[in-house]
């Protein structure tokens, strides 16, 4: 069996108020077959909000791939790309 895809969601202040709070419900949005192949973790501030443009909060990582202005569909698309 292949290794699980690790999704890390930044729970820092900026990410949280810019939409990160909704990302924590990601697990409920995943199709059942995808859900069992990923592991969702929260993370303390990635410190990326200070990097300014062109990257914008909220941030998430799907394995090593960084997603800025992350939304549930963007994360799901990246998971499906990696599967």
Partner 1 sequence: MTVHTDTFIDVGHYQVHKAGQRVGGDVFIFQRHEDSERVVAVLSDGLGSGIKASVLATLTSTMASRFVTSYRDIKSTANIIMQTLPVCKERKISFSTFTIVDIEKDGTARIIEYGNPATIFFQADTIGPLKKEQVPVESAHTHERHVSSGSCVLACGDRLIMFSDGVTQAGMGRADTPLGWGQAAAERFITACIKTQPTISARDLAKEIVSEAQRIDGNHARDDITCGVIYFRRPRATLLISGPPINPERDAVLAGRVEAFGGECIICGGTTANIIARELDRPIEVDLTCIDPHVPPPSRMPGVTLVTEGILTLCKVSELLQHGIVPEEYTDNAAGRVLAKLLNSDHIHFLIGTKINDVHQDPTMPVEIEIRRNIIKKIKQVLEEKHIKKIELEYI
**Residues making contact with partner 1 (CB under 8 A):** 11-14, 16-18, 20-22, 24-25, 40-45, 47, 49-50
Instruction: Please say whether the beta carbons of 8 and 43 come within 8 A.
Output: yes
Which residue, 21 or 77, is less far from partner 1 as judged by CB? 21
For the bound state, the minimum distance from the C-beta of residue 35 to partner 1, rounded and expressed in Å, comes to 14
Distances (CA, A) of 27 to 9, 31, 48, 51, 55: 12, 9, 24, 28, 24
For the bound state, the minimum distance from the C-beta of residue 40 to partner 1, rounded and expressed in Å, comes to 7
How far apart (Å, rounded) are the C-alpha atoms in residues 18 and 3? 31
For the bound state, the minimum distance from the C-beta of residue 50 to partner 1, rounded and expressed in Å, comes to 6
């Amino acid at each position: 069996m292949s290794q699980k895809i690790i999704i890390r969601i930044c729970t820092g202040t900026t990410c949280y108020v810019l939409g990160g709070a909704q990302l924590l419900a990601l697990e409920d949005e995943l199709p059942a077959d995808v859900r069992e192949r990923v592991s969702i973790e929260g993370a303390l501030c990635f410190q990326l909000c200070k990097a300014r443009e062109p990257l914008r909060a909220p941030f998430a990582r799907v394995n090593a791939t960084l997603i800025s202005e992350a939304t549930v569909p963007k994360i799901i698309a990246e998971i499906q790309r990696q599967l």
